[in-house]
Amino acid sequence: MVRHLYVYLVLFATLMMVIGGGISIFMATADLVNPPSYYQTYSDFKIMRQSEKIEGKQAVTLTEEQLRAEYEQLMEDERERQKENAKNQMIKSLGFILIPLPIFLYFNKWRRKSIE
């Protein structure tokens, strides 16, 4: 009786891990296809850059075009960072499928043999 309970608990735990890994891969794929938005607006970026000048951190004055180019580069860098994070998450989530799946299959095979 205890052996059967143990087997069913292992089957349940490994199945939940595989399902969780699948869900996580799906979410990471969605982030890869459509990365989350970056929430800093151009006006916020411009104010932040101007406040740096006031505090004396930067002595060079930038034109509107240079500020816009920096902002666009910041946005592109953020999108790339989000994509890299999504790829990293997919690899990690794959572990939640590849590691418990053989254990699940082994215990399921063992359970079927014990029933017969």
- Token reading at 54: 């006031």
> Which pLDDT belongs to residue 12?
96
DSSP 8-state code for residue 59 = -
> Which pLDDT belongs to residue 56?
59
> Which pLDDT belongs to residue 59?
56
Task: Give residue-wise pLDDT tens across range 45-76.
Answer: 888 877 766 665 655 677 888 888 988 998 89
pTM score over 0.85: no
φ, ψ for residue 23, nearest 5 deg: -65, -40
Which has the closest alpha carbon to 14: 90, 106, 114, 89? Answer: 106
Question: Which residues in the chain land under pLDDT 50?
Answer: none
